[in-house]
Amino acid sequence: MKTLFSIVEKKKNSKSFESPSSSSIVYIRIPPDTGCFLALLPPPPLSRYHNGVMYNRVIRAIRAHTAGAGAAVLALALVLAGGGLLWSTCTSKARTDAGEGPAPYYLAGLGAREESAASLFSLLGKEAAGTQEHFAVIREIANCYAAAGDYGKLVTFLSDAAREDPQSIYNGYYRFMTAWAYMRQEAWPAAALYFDIILKNYPDLIIQGESMHLACLNQLITLVNDGERRVRYYEELIARFPEQIDLGAAYFMLGQAYEKTGEWSEAIKAYTQYLPYLETNVPGFPNAASYARNLVDFYNSPKNWTFDSLSSLLAAVRASLDGGNAERLDQCRAKVNFFARSWGQEDAENAGMAEFTLYQFMQGNRIRYNDELDKSSNANEAYLRTTGWAAYIATWYLYFRKIYFPANPEIHGRWEWAGIYYGEKF
């Protein structure tokens, strides 16, 4: 069987290729004499290519996509095969020598669009590189491939266009269309890579009335899960495009990104900036308003009502109930985010319900409590059934929870009496 590729490596700052190791850039070399090297960064385990499933996937990808296709189509094939390809160093020229028209590869498979594409390639050879006219022709050729659904040729063509005129002001657009082509192929990592490259290396352009950088950022916040990168993208969205985005949603999601990186003070700042926009809709977070408000309020509170364990909290509550001491009992409950509501009532319906004193409900009454916690209690939440309250509903379940607050390790994991549920438990 003919060898389709070989694996070599190039040490950083070196021009020579050697046997691969795990510490440097890995390349795939396409024989016999194309001089084409496809860079893989970071290098995957070489065993994935020398044997097993990954080797076979790469073989199949090369066989399926390289017949005259050039580097960029192979790049797409390897990305889809899971190879982690980032870029290539070889080129497949969109046109043959001057006056000879496009390479046959570029017209194959276009069907009814072949004649139009051939005319466009002929016109492309007559326009000076870097001009608006040259860009307009490239865009029309790209549209031919997009309309035909031939995203492999589209990527190859655009890569060649950017490579042939590296100083063109339109190269950012070519990279943007390349990212779009990868999106159409569901090659999400490759698309995210190009969107990020555009932001870092190319000036903004207005495409159909919309900022190209804004479009890149909107795509990246859906494609990228890494917390640090999401922080960067949301901060750039807020700083550069405040009039074109939902600021409330952006501040909330910036807080989420900071949480993911463990930067809690920055997360609280972002949530605080979100608070004036509580009515905004944050997709995927129906309780965004209460979440942010509760977190900010808790962060800014003294937290002097917390207990080191559930058992110590229960002991304090039971002692207060046994002695009928409303003041002492009130000291046991949370001073922020404390709720008092019926079973099934939503968090958002809780405003103002906790603004009461326990004294008026205990006066002249003996409050009794169950010896054991409710059976639905667990390692993070607990319910204590009590009766005898001077209210329309005499049965209350006291709700205790373990505090989740990584921003303060001294508080994180302690317990608090967080609320009351009225009536018998469903």
pLDDT digits (tens, 9 = 90+) for 14-45: 433 333 443 333 444 443 333 344 444 334 44
Q: What is the pLDDT of residue 103?
A: 67
* Pairwise CA distance, residues 347 & 241, whole Å: 33
Residue type, 159: S
* Pairwise CA distance, residues 90 & 349, whole Å: 63
Q: Is the pLDDT of residue 96 over 60?
A: no
pLDDT band at 130 (very low <50, low <70, confident <90, very high): confident
Q: What is the pLDDT of residue 39?
A: 40
Mean pLDDT of 131-139: 92
Q: Which of 73 and 131 is assigned the larger pLDDT?
A: 131
Q: What is the pLDDT of residue 7?
A: 44
User: CB–CB of 393/422 below 8 Å?
Assistant: yes
Q: Is the pLDDT of residue 366 over 80?
A: yes
Q: Which of 92 and 297 is assigned the larger pLDDT?
A: 297
User: CB–CB of 365/390 below 8 Å?
Assistant: yes
pLDDT band at 356 (very low <50, low <70, confident <90, very high): low
394 token code pair: 């005499």
Mean pLDDT of 90-113: 63
310-422: CATH number: 3.10.450
**Model pTM above 0.75:** no
Q: Which of 370 and 42 is assigned the larger pLDDT?
A: 370
Q: What is the pLDDT of residue 94?
A: 54
Average predicted confidence (pLDDT) for the chain: 80
Domain range annotation of the chain: 6-88, 226-300, 310-422
Mean pLDDT of 366-390: 96
Q: What is the pLDDT of residue 45?
A: 45
* 3-class state of residue 306 by DSSP: coil
Q: Which of 229, 213, 210, 144 is nearest to 175 (CA)?
A: 213
DSSP 177-195: HHHHHHHHTT-HHHHHHHH
- Beta partners for residue 340, in sequence order: 420
Q: What is the pLDDT of residue 114?
A: 87
Share of the chain above pLDDT 90, in %: 60
Q: Is the pLDDT of residue 376 over 90?
A: yes
* Pairwise CA distance, residues 168 & 178, whole Å: 16
Give residue-wise pLDDT tens across range 258-317: 999 999 999 999 999 999 999 999 999 999 999 999 999 999 999 999 999 999 999 999
Q: Is the pLDDT of residue 8 over 90?
A: no
* Pairwise CA distance, residues 364 & 366, whole Å: 7
Residue 226, Cβ neighbours under 10 Å: how many? 13
| Location of structure tokens 């209350």 | 396
Burial of 242 (C-beta count, 10 Å sphere; 0-12/13-18/19+)? exposed
Mutual angle of helices 264-274 and 288-299, in 10-degree steps: 120
Q: Which CATH class is domain 226-300?
A: mainly alpha
Q: Is the pLDDT of residue 345 over 90?
A: no
| Location of structure tokens 């084409």 | 36
Q: Which of 179, 190, 253 is nearest to 216 (CA)?
A: 179
Q: What is the pLDDT of residue 21?
A: 41
* Pairwise CA distance, residues 392 & 405, whole Å: 35
Q: What is the pLDDT of residue 404?
A: 94
| Location of structure tokens 């199949």 | 60
CA distance readout (Å), 156 to 14, 174, 424: 27, 11, 68
Q: Is the pLDDT of residue 11 over 60?
A: no
* 3-class state of residue 124 by DSSP: helix
Q: Is the pLDDT of residue 107 over 60?
A: yes
Q: What is the pLDDT of residue 102?
A: 66
Highest mean pLDDT of the ranges 28-42, 57-71, 340-354 = 340-354
| Location of structure tokens 């950012």 | 172
Q: What is the pLDDT of residue 30?
A: 43
User: CB–CB of 240/232 below 8 Å?
Assistant: no
> 260-268 contacts: CB < 8 A, separation 24 or more?
260/227, 260/230, 261/227, 261/228, 261/231, 262/406, 263/231, 264/406, 264/407, 265/407, 266/231, 267/407, 268/295, 268/296, 268/299, 268/407
Least confident of 116-125, 206-215, 230-239, 287-296: 116-125
pLDDT band at 364 (very low <50, low <70, confident <90, very high): confident
Least confident of 80-84, 112-116, 191-195: 80-84
Q: Is the pLDDT of residue 395 over 80?
A: yes
Q: Which of 288, 245, 294, 251 is nearest to 269 (CA)?
A: 251
Mutual angle of helices 171-184 and 71-81, in 10-degree steps: 40
Q: Is the pLDDT of residue 200 over 70?
A: yes
Q: Is the pLDDT of residue 57 over 70?
A: no
The C-alpha R_g of the chain, in whole angstroms, comes to 32
CA distance readout (Å), 90 to 156, 262, 351: 11, 42, 64
Q: What is the pLDDT of residue 44?
A: 44
Least confident of 123-137, 150-164, 348-362, 406-420: 348-362
Residue type, 253: M
